[in-house]
Amino acid sequence: MSSEQEEPKIVVDEDWKSRVQAERAAAKADAKAAAASDEEPGPAAGGRLPPASFELLLSTLAAQALTAMGKLPDPIQGHAVVRPDLAQHYIDLLGMLEQKTKGNLTRDEAEMLDALLHQLRMTFVSTRKESEPKAGS
């Protein structure tokens, strides 16, 4: 009978050890996940997508326009590629969005869209001037 009483103690000890080991493994996994989230992984790396919002839509279209103006590197080519026609297309899309949503946006959304369009249009004009050949050349 004494050997039967010792077995539950051993099982309890082994159970305790396995729980501690599982907790340590979980803590290590949590630490790795926290470190990985500090690096802000993209969706392809298992990161979460931001919630859909009007601001996200505007920033996505603006990023595309800036990429087409050569202000951001092209993600496929890895370097700046100037495509004025494509930049104009994205700016026109934002302009159309402004017209179609007029009166349906919050004040902050309308101001953000207006300011974004202004900035993109000014950048587009300066980009076109930079790419034109000089008169004296």
Which tokens hold the place of 63?
């990023």
Is the confidence at residue 12, as pLDDT, over 80?
A: no
Q: What is the pLDDT of residue 10?
A: 47
Helices 84-101 + 54-68 axis angle, to 10: 160
Please indicate whether residue 95 or residue 31 has the higher confidence score (pLDDT): 95
What CA–CA distance (Å, rounded) separates 95 from 126? Answer: 19
Q: Which tens digits make up the pLDDT trace of 78-114?
A: 999 999 999 999 999 999 999 999 999 999 999 999 9
Which tokens hold the place of 88?
């104009």
Distance of CA 2 to the CA centre of its chain: 64
Which tokens hold the place of 105?
């946006």
Q: CA-based Rg of the chain, rounded to a whole angstrom?
A: 28
According to DSSP, the residues that pair with 69 across neighbouring strands are 82
Which tokens hold the place of 108?
């902050």
Please indicate whether residue 6 or residue 67 has the higher confidence score (pLDDT): 67
What CA–CA distance (Å, rounded) separates 50 from 60? Answer: 12
Q: Which tens digits make up the pLDDT trace of 39-72?
A: 555 555 567 899 999 999 999 999 999 999 999 9
Report the length, in residues, of the chain: 137
Distance of CA 20 to the CA centre of its chain: 37
